[in-house]
Amino acid sequence: MQHQNLRGLFKDQGHTYHKPVKINGYQVELSTIEEVMKQYPGITDVVATVYNPAEKKIYAYYLSDRETSPRKLKFFLLSKLPHHMLPAYLIELDELPLTPNNKVDYQALADLHNLPSTMEITTEQESVQLIIENIWKKVLNVHQLSYNANFIELGGNSVKAFEISARLLSRGIKVTARHIFNLQTIDRLVAQVNSVRSPVATVQQPLTGSLKLPPAASWFMGRSFEQPGHYNQTLLFYLNRQPSVILFEQAFDLILNKHDGLRLNYNLLKHQLFYNRLHADSRFLIGEVSGLHLQSVADVLTHVEQEGYNQFNIQNDLLLKAALFSLTSGDSILAITAHRLIADGASWGILMEELYYNYTTLESGITPAVTLKPASLREWERARAERAGSLAHKLCLKEWNDVEQQHVSFFVDMSGIPQINNDTLKMKWMLDAIDMPYLLKEALANFTYDANVLLFGSFLQMMQQWTGNTHFLITNEYEGRDFDDFSFKETIGWFTAIYPAMWKWEGDTLIAKLDYLKEQTRVNSSRAIDYSIWMYNSGLFKSSKIEVADIQFNFWGEFGAELNNDLFSYCHKSPLQESHGDNPMTAKMEVNAMVIKEKLHIEIVFDSKTYLPSVIWELMDIWATSLQQMIADLKEWNFPSNNIRFLRHDLSESNKDDVFN
């Protein structure tokens, strides 16, 4: 029997088995399976074939120049391929049979069916179950997971349910967020899932053309910033091993190829965003900085500011930068800056997760698999247009008009008029004394209160103690990635809906106050996208109409392994949001909260002509005390054990409606 290396052979022979085949309604490219398998270390050649499409099974034969772990190969393919493209059988051979004409002898391969298989997935259900398990582990940030583990007890909430749903959809598995809340365990979920037709992962061409300004971008442009290129976020990361600049650049290139929104620029004359094709044709380059002046993180921040690493020309520049700093101590710090036009808070989670995956995969000598691009910003533009014409949107307009007419006076230290960011100060805290397991998981399991409700509730409690009021007009941000039947959980972009709301901290008991706040959050967030569409479509995003908010409160969510892992660790001294000193303020007091590796980070940016730093310290102390006391009171709340079990495992339909309506 002859043996020949197969690279290039299929391109010449044009074998009919390498035309797309249909399995369970899917078009399957066998060559894609072969290319993915060749990315596994040691595998040199692969033949994937289907002998009988009616059998609905894919056979994959491969050669390897080293010992191959069946379990590792199995999970490698599960992480790379949609479930409908997974081979039913994987068979390792010492050599591949060839015909006298040096073609692959498929008949001889067919005769090898009785050889032991490295992997046999006998049912589609098993592959779906493993994919769901892997995604739950990533989203819920758990390492061990049983098939009957409860979603809510693991810290699941509405945001994470939507994220799991979006990730599964990208793998060809349709599971709604409501399904996840209803069924709550993997084994029950697997029995109910419906597969949807998903296009085969192929190389997709870069998007071109223009986009109308989305709501947040319109808000930004309407403020007439003196320095529009300096309104961004910079995150710093300690690198946990000796870095390779080349691998980081390649990892960023892969992200740019997948996320067209990172190539956006602003057309000043047309007042539109456009996909800049020049960025698609250029490689991502990382600046390298070293020297005796770099002795600490503070020196890195100074260098970033002085050398313009945090500034962009929004009409021409790629609005994403990275620089690698080598400190005199031997430590390395990676600084990444993204303009707000291309990335919101949720985008950072997507960006850093993909950066980690791409870098570590390249580091192991494997080329990351080509994956489907997520929903595009052009699709988001169509989604907003559909929403603007809906009855639900029209019903929301009166409520927002009423909110716009309301004003509440806050106690201030001085009566100075806020003008520019040069008048602002920033204070940051990392709260170590907070019971984070309770904040992130137990309160949700026992009372269906997520971290945002407790953080915002304790903030309102502080405001009541400070002012004596119970009603507060506060501007908030909603992530804006899910409405109607659209989901953009995997897309990098600025989806934020910025909206004002009259928040009421009322009730006879703490439970009553938190329940009312949860209901207000449901109502306001469900209408947030309507507010932003209304303001954008009605042309209200103009500098003459935009007033500086008294208080803006933002909870940017929880981040785990995507920001802290074996490759890099988040530096809490990162300047989470930056705006040039000559730009106008966006709020007299802006409060930003986020959870990173189960640590609560708080940043308060305030107008120094309105508030004294000593008062901000006092407010932070009152807030932290209120949060600690709130958690202690909830822990002592006496619920019969059967009621707690009801709340954990059988959410009422009204609670589900609170989340999903």
Please report the DSSP string for 327-396 in residue order. -TTS-EEEEEEEETTT--HHHHHHHHHHHHHHHHHHHTT-PPPP------HHHHHHHHHHHHTSHHHHHH
pLDDT at 417: 58
- pLDDT surpasses 80 at 319: yes
Per the structure block, which two tokens stand in for 598? Answer: 């189960």
pLDDT at 442: 87
Give how far Cα 460 sits from Cα of 332, 438, 457, 467, 517, Å.
Answer: 40, 20, 5, 10, 10
Which CATH code fits 9-122? 3.30.300.30
- pLDDT surpasses 80 at 64: yes
Chain mean position to CA 648:
26
Which of 9, 66, 13, 14 is CA-nearest to residue 42? 66
Query: Residue 566: exposed, middle, or buried by beta-carbon count in 10 A (0-12, 13-18, 19+)?
Result: exposed
Could you tell me how many helices (H) and strands (E) the chain has, helices first? 22, 25
What percent of the chain lies above the pLDDT cut of 90? 31
- The conformation of residue 115, written as its DSSP 8-state character, comes to S
**Three-state SS at 569:** strand
Handedness of CA 69, 72, 76, 78 (dihedral sign): positive
Give how far Cα 307 sits from Cα of 189, 231, 289, 295, Å.
Answer: 52, 16, 11, 17
pLDDT at 488: 84
Mean pLDDT along residues 541-548:
54
Which CATH code fits 126-195? 1.10.1200.10
Chain mean position to CA 34:
30
Q: One fold for both 9-122 and 126-195?
A: no
Quote the CA–CA distance of 4 and 24 in Å, as a whole number. 33
Quote the CA–CA distance of 658 and 661 in Å, as a whole number. 6
Which of 80, 89, 83 is CA-nearest to residue 113? 89
To the question of domain 210-363 being in CATH 3.30.559.10, the answer is: yes
What percent of the chain lies above the pLDDT cut of 70? 78
- For residue range 8-55, what is the model confidence (pLDDT) as tens digits? 233 333 333 456 677 666 677 788 888 888 888 889 999 988 876 666
**Three-state SS at 614:** helix
Beta bridge partners of 486: 483
Pick the range with the lowest mean pLDDT from 301-305, 320-324, 543-547. Answer: 543-547
Radius of gyration of the chain (CA): 27
Q: Measured at the alpha carbon of residue 215, what is the angle toward residues 210 and 216, in degrees to the nearest 5?
A: 100
Q: Let me know: does 99 contact 105? Beta carbons within 8 Å.
A: yes
- pLDDT surpasses 90 at 330: yes
Quote the CA–CA distance of 546 and 586 in Å, as a whole number. 9
Pick the range with the lowest mean pLDDT from 2-11, 144-153, 412-421, 569-578. Answer: 2-11
pLDDT at 403: 57
* pTM of the predicted model over 0.85: no
Per the structure block, which two tokens stand in for 183? Answer: 């069924």
Architecture in CATH for domain 377-660 = 2-Layer Sandwich (3.30)
- E strand or H helix at 245: helix 245-258
Contacts of residue 228, defined as CB under 8 A and 6 or more positions apart, other chains included, come to 220, 221, 266, 314, 583
171 or 649: which carries more pLDDT confidence? 171
Give how far Cα 616 sits from Cα of 59, 171, 548, 549, Å.
Answer: 66, 47, 19, 17
Beta strands in 81-209 (DSSP E): 89-92, 119-120, 173-174, 194-195
373 or 280: which carries more pLDDT confidence? 280
- For residue range 245-304, what is the model confidence (pLDDT) as tens digits? 999 999 999 999 999 999 999 999 999 999 999 999 899 999 999 999 999 999 998 888
Quote the CA–CA distance of 228 and 514 in Å, as a whole number. 39
Query: Residue 548: exposed, middle, or buried by beta-carbon count in 10 A (0-12, 13-18, 19+)?
Result: middle
Quote the CA–CA distance of 307 and 146 in Å, as a whole number. 51
**Three-state SS at 247:** helix
Q: Measured at the alpha carbon of residue 182, what is the angle toward residues 180 and 185, in degrees to the nearest 5?
A: 60
- SS3 percent helix, strand, coil of the chain, rounded to 5, is 40, 20, 40
Which of 347, 448, 401 is CA-nearest to residue 651? 448
pLDDT at 651: 47
Quote the CA–CA distance of 126 and 116 in Å, as a whole number. 20
- The conformation of residue 161, written as its DSSP 8-state character, comes to H
pLDDT at 374: 83
Quote the CA–CA distance of 447 and 580 in Å, as a whole number. 42
Q: Where are the domains of the chain?
A: 9-122, 126-195, 210-363, 377-660
